[in-house]
């Protein structure tokens, strides 16, 4: 179970639009709120185009046990730096929090080995959610399967699996 | 309470206030125990994993799938390294140091000319023209213009 922490970058799913605020499901005990104005270049007239069911990558502004967590999609200097609505296509799946920490470690072998395979895009949320997008559906699913299985495979097994794949 | 009455002077009010306070505070209970020294705790509570393990930025792209994100990756991950930051600072200057020095030299000259008096300006102009003439032809051209300036003493 994920506990929202201030400053963490997470992937949230838009569940409702209420007035000036989006409600996002981040996998915690409560839905987080995200204001319309918390995007880069957003004004009252220029609203972000997020529908229910869209994916958003943002960070927590406020996250303590007494209050509803709040998210924003800009950093302290007002730049979006990669945060915001995640584009079309791609595949979202859940993994354990421990795997995310492993994957985000500075020199992660899994990520390095995967990056040799084929071009793809990856977004890792600290709440255990991973979004993958590759050129074809097959490639995307291969990456998903490897990442899910990585938790229980040893390094040797992983390299074998990847060797088979790159052979194909 | 007496000190609340408006009619009284401020002084008498204060006196009464202090007396009332004493009476009240004597009735309060307090612990007759010496204060505990506040120890500086050596424990810092950190709820995010990002700092503990120096985690990398979560958005990544490989083999040129999304060039903007690849640029971001370099940016974000270099924030940890100080060397890159220094390089960035140098690059930020729009005009390089050499150009600055060059421009400044000529700038001083051109603005300095503006403040010369008319005589000096003419001298400057002639000097420039003379230099040009000398460079063009290596013959003996008497700088006649210069002679004009100087006062020729009439021969007796």
- Tens of pLDDT, residue by residue over A108-153, are 788 888 888 788 888 888 888 999 988 888 888 888 888 888 888 8
CA A56 to CA A63: how far, in whole Å? 17
B7 at A interface, C-beta within 8 A: no
Please give the tally of structural domains in chain A: 2
CATH code, domain with A126: 3.30.1370.10
The answer to whether the Cβ–Cβ distance between B50 and A8 falls below 8 Å is yes
Give the distance, in angstroms, between the CA of residue B61 and the centroid of all CA atoms in the same chain: 36
**Boundary of a domain, candidates A44, A63, A85:** A85
Q: What's the confidence (pLDDT) of residue A33?
A: 92
Q: Nearest chain B Cα to A123, which residue?
A: B59
Task: Please answer whether residues A52 and A39 qualify as being in contact, where contact means their C-beta atoms are separated by less than 8 angstroms.
Answer: no
The reported pTM is 0.61
Half-sphere exposure of B5 (CA within 13 A, CB side): 9
Residue A3 maps to a domain: no
Q: Would you report the helix, strand and coil content of chain B in percent, each value rounded to 5?
A: 60, 5, 40
Residue A1 maps to a domain: no
Is 60 exceeded by the pLDDT of residue B52? yes
Residues of chain B neighbouring A132 (CB-CB closer than 8 A): none
Is residue A72 domain-shared with residue A98, that is, in the same domain? no
The answer to whether the Cβ–Cβ distance between B63 and A115 falls below 8 Å is yes
CATH code, domain with A34: 2.40.50.140
Tell me the CA distances in angstroms from A46 to A13, A23, A39, B31, one per residue in order. Answer: 21, 19, 10, 61
Is 50 exceeded by the pLDDT of residue A24? yes
Asked whether this complex has an ipTM greater than 0.85, the answer is no
Nearest to residue A130, comparing CAs of A11, A3, A9, A8? Answer: A11
CB atoms < 10 A from the CB of B80, how many?
12
A57 at B interface, C-beta within 8 A: yes
Residues of chain A neighbouring B58 (CB-CB closer than 8 A): 9, 57, 104, 123-126
Is 50 exceeded by the pLDDT of residue A94? yes
Q: What is the DSSP letter of B133?
A: H
Is residue A12 domain-shared with residue A81, that is, in the same domain? yes
Is residue A99 domain-shared with residue A43, that is, in the same domain? no
Domain that holds residue A107: 91-166
Is residue A78 domain-shared with residue A98, that is, in the same domain? no
Residue A73 maps to a domain: yes
CA A138 to CA A36: how far, in whole Å? 35
B66 at A interface, C-beta within 8 A: yes
Instruction: Give the model's confidence band at B142: pLDDT under 50 very low, under 70 low, under 90 confident, else very high.
Output: very low
Task: Please answer whether residues A34 and A54 qualify as being in contact, where contact means their C-beta atoms are separated by less than 8 angstroms.
Answer: no
Instruction: Give the model's confidence band at B3: pLDDT under 50 very low, under 70 low, under 90 confident, else very high.
Output: low
In which residue are the tokens 């040799």 written?
A116
**Boundary of a domain, candidates A85, A108, A138:** A85
Is 60 exceeded by the pLDDT of residue B82? no
Residue A2 maps to a domain: no
Is 80 exceeded by the pLDDT of residue A22? yes
Residue A99 maps to a domain: yes
Residue A109 maps to a domain: yes
- Tens of pLDDT, residue by residue over A25-82, are 988 888 999 988 888 888 888 888 888 888 999 989 888 888 889 999 888 887 778 8
CA B77 to CA B83: how far, in whole Å? 12
Is 50 exceeded by the pLDDT of residue B126? yes
Residues of chain B neighbouring A124 (CB-CB closer than 8 A): 58-60
**What's the rounded mean pLDDT across residues B3-26?**
76
Q: Closest Cα of chain A to B77: distance in Å?
A: 9
Residues of chain B neighbouring A111 (CB-CB closer than 8 A): 60
**Boundary of a domain, candidates A40, A61, A85:** A85
């Amino acid at each position: 179970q994920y506990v929202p922490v201030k400053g963490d970058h997470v992937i949230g799913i838009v569940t409702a639009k209420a007035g000036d605020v989006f409600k996002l499901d981040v996998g915690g005990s409560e839905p987080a709120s995200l204001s319309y104005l918390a995007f880069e270049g957003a004004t009252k007239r220029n609203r972000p185009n997020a529908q229910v069911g869209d994916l958003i990558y943002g960070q927590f502004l406020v996250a303590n046990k007494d209050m509803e967590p709040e998210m924003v999609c800009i950093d302290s200097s007002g730049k979006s730096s990669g945060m915001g609505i995640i584009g079309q296509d791609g595949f979202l799946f859940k993994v354990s929090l421990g795997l995310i920490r492993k994957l985000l470690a500075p020199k992660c072998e899994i990520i390095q080995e995967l990056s040799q395979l084929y071009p793809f895009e990856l977004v890792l949320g600290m709440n255990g959610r991973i979004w993958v997008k590759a050129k074809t559906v097959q490639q995307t699913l291969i990456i998903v399967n490897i990442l899910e299985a990585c938790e229980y495979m040893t390094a040797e097994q992983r390299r074998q699996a990847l060797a088979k794949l790159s052979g194909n | 309470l007496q000190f609340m009455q408006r009619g009284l002077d401020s002084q008498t009010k204060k006196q009464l206030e202090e007396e009332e306070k004493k009476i009240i505070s004597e009735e309060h209970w307090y612990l007759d125990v010496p204060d505990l020294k506040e120890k500086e705790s050596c424990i810092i509570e950190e709820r995010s994993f990002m700092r503990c393990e120096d985690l990398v930025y979560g958005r990544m792209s490989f083999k040129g799938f999304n060039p903007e994100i690849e640029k971001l990756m370099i940016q974000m991950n270099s924030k940890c390294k100080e060397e890159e930051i220094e390089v960035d600072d140098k690059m930020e200057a729009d005009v390089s140091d050499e150009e600055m020095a060059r421009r400044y030299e000529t700038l001083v000259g051109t603005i300095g000319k503006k403040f010369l008096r008319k005589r000096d300006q003419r001298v400057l102009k002639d000097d420039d023209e003379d230099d040009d003439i000398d460079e063009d032809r290596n013959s003996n051209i008497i700088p006649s213009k210069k002679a004009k300036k100087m006062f020729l003493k009439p021969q007796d």
